[in-house]
């Protein structure tokens, strides 16, 4: 008995792709599929179409098909879905930008002046020790 091999209609050789670099994917169009093939970028939850580009079977570069992937000021998660004719084919690729976390940096958070401790403020710990803030 031979078990069938299933491949995704859109797949990538690399799980991570650097910003501004090529983003190769493999497009497999199943036999019997009729119509023009395209990749659609879809919003999560609503599946609204963000952008679309025509493709052919074989290796395609998502960075060339969708240059906005690297130029958006606020990158966001999208799904890349193969569509043949009007029909979605196979599972979508999840494209999630890996962003550096935002830090406050050297800026100090501002608090109202009444909540800032002074030298004479005293604090009693749960063990009964008293300390003066400096």
Residues 82, 65: contact at Cβ < 8 Å? no
pTM: 0.67
Q: Is residue 84 part of a domain?
A: yes
Q: Is residue 101 assigned to a domain?
A: no
What is the average per-residue pLDDT within 92-109? 71
Domain assignment present for residue 77? The answer is: yes
pLDDT over threshold 90, residue 59: yes
- Structure tokens that stand for 10 in this block: 């859109």
User: Which domain covers residue 34, as residue numbers?
Assistant: 10-95
Does residue 91 fall inside a structural domain?
yes
Residue 70 lies in a domain: yes
Q: What is the pLDDT of residues 103-133, one digit of tens each?
A: 666 555 555 555 555 555 455 444 555 555 4
Instruction: Indicate the helix (H) or strand (E) that contains 64.
Output: helix 62-65
CATH no. for residue 60? 2.60.40
Instruction: Report how many domains make up the chain.
Output: 1
SS3 call for 56? coil
Q: Is 79 inside a domain boundary?
A: yes
Confidence of residue 55 (pLDDT cuts 50, 70, 90): very high
- The reply to whether 59 falls in a domain is yes
Q: What are the strands, taking DSSP E only, across the chain?
A: 10-12, 24-27, 37-42, 49-54, 58-61, 78-84, 87-95, 122-124, 130-132
Of the two residues 18 and 41, the one the predictor is more confident about is 41
Classify residue 121: in a domain, yes or no: no
């Amino acid at each position: 008995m031979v078990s069938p091999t299933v491949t995704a209609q859109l797949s990538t050789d690399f799980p991570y792709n650097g910003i501004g670099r090529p983003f190769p994917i493999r497009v497999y169009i199943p036999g019997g599929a009729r119509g023009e093939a395209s990749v659609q970028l879809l919003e999560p939850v609503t599946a609204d179409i963000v952008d679309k580009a025509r493709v052919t079977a074989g290796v395609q570069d998502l960075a060339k098909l969708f240059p906005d992937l690297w130029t958006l000021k606020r990158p966001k998660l999208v799904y890349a879905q193969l569509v043949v004719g009007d029909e979605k084919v196979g599972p979508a690729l999840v494209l999630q930008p890996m962003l550096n976390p935002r830090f406050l940096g050297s800026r100090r958070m501002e608090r109202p002046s009444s909540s800032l401790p002074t030298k004479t403020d005293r604090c009693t710990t749960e063990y009964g020790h008293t300390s003066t803030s400096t």
